[in-house]
Amino acid sequence: MLFGLYKDLSQRISLKTLSNEIIDKFCVILSLEMGLSENTINAYRSDLIDFRNWLRKSSTPVDSLDKKALEQFLRDGCDALRTSTVNRRVSAVKKFFSWLVREKIIEDNPSIFLKGSKTEQKLAVVLSEQQMLCLLEGPNTKTPLGIRDRAILELLYASGLRVSELIGLKFTDCLIQERAILVCGKGNKERIVPFGEDAFYWLKKYVAKSRYLLLKKTSSLFLFVGIRGKKMSRQSVWKLIRMYSSQIRLKDPCTPHTLRHTFATHLLNNGADLRSIQLLLGHTDISTTQIYTRMATKHLKQIYEKHHPRA
């Protein structure tokens, strides 16, 4: 029973601070029960550490918190934060207090009436087919790194992978001859995603001519490796995409997620149904995928305005 584990912690919570121990225990619950991704859990942990620091600074005991005090926490130091970040903090606090009540660490939930702010949903940046072609042709494929970068760009556009999914790909997850990859997505949910001829060509070339040179007589479980033969980081993929997008002077900043949005939007523009796109992207809820219908509608309006004589 979890309650037995937290008897000693309940005494600490009645003081003016939260311990790292109980925050860590809560984060384990987020992973085991809710299946949240590692990045989301880390963001929640950071939010709760900020909350703990605020409690210490304001000398506010947890058992005396009310909705007004929590709203004050969300206001303090949040002026420079995006609305989506503040809303994530609201979510972190609400989940945390619900868990504390469930485990009988505290009796009342002060966050029950706490609400986030409404945000205007902005359309994501999507590259045109011509822009995407220019981006793909950016790497110098006469070098091992250029071949690797071309394979990365081709695979991201061909499969719509998240950057965390890309760097987490094991060598054995890529079924090159079958033109498919086994992807471990959010919440450790697996899906198989196919890819086309261009990605097949560059992945095969990367594995045959580039990867072993980057490994330098070492070995790696991961498909994509850096110049020292180690697993690539999220930051390194971001940097290479920014570098190639700046070369073609894109107006809007280009990120790995831009290629994911572009993948989905181009599929929809060319006749793919929303349910298939949902499965390819690994979205649990189809409502998450429906943003791409808005992107496609915007694209059609632009075509209409450009080509219709009475637009």
Task: Choose the catalytic residue: 283, 298, 307, 310.
Answer: 283
Residue 244 catalytic?
A: no
**Residues spanned by CATH 1.10.443.10 within the chain?**
129-263
Active site residue 260: yes
Report the length, in residues, of the chain.
Answer: 311
Number of C-beta neighbours around residue 245 at 10 A: 22
Strands (E), the chain: 174-175, 180-184, 190-194
3-state secondary structure of 190: strand
Catalytic residue among 186, 191, 230, 242: 186
Out of 162, 211, 261, 266, pick the active-site residue. 162
Give percent above pLDDT 70 in the chain: 80
pLDDT band at 4 (very low <50, low <70, confident <90, very high): very low
Report pLDDT digits (tens) over 70-79.
888 877 766 5
Selecting among 89, 148, 260, 261, the annotated active-site residue is 260
* Res. 6: pLDDT tops 50: no
pLDDT band at residue 16 using 50, 70 and 90 as cut-offs: very low
Q: What is the pLDDT of residue 286?
A: 62
Residue 179 annotated to the active site: no
Confidence of residue 13 (pLDDT cuts 50, 70, 90): very low
Q: Is 170 a catalytic residue?
A: no
CATH class as words, domain 2-102: mainly alpha
Q: Which of 57-61, 64-68, 230-234 has the highest mean pLDDT?
A: 230-234
- Give me the helices (H) in the chain, please: 2-5, 7-13, 20-34, 38-58, 67-75, 83-102, 129-136, 144-159, 163-167, 197-205, 211-215, 234-247, 256-269, 274-281, 286-289, 291-307
| pLDDT class of 14 with cuts at 50, 70, 90 | very low
Nearest-CA neighbor of 257 among 291, 231, 305, 223? 291
**Could you report the per-residue pLDDT of 216-267, keeping only the tens digit for each?**
888 899 999 998 888 999 999 999 999 999 998 887 778 898 999 898 888 8
- What's residue 2's pLDDT? 39
- CA angle (186 as vertex; 41, 198 as ends), nearest 5: 135
- Helix and strand totals (H; E) in the chain: 16, 3
> Is 283 one of the catalytic residues?
yes
DSSP state of 173: G
Q: Domain 129-263 belongs to what topology?
A: hpI Integrase; Chain A (1.10.443)
Whether 261 is catalytic: no
Residues carrying CATH 1.10.150.130, the chain: 2-102
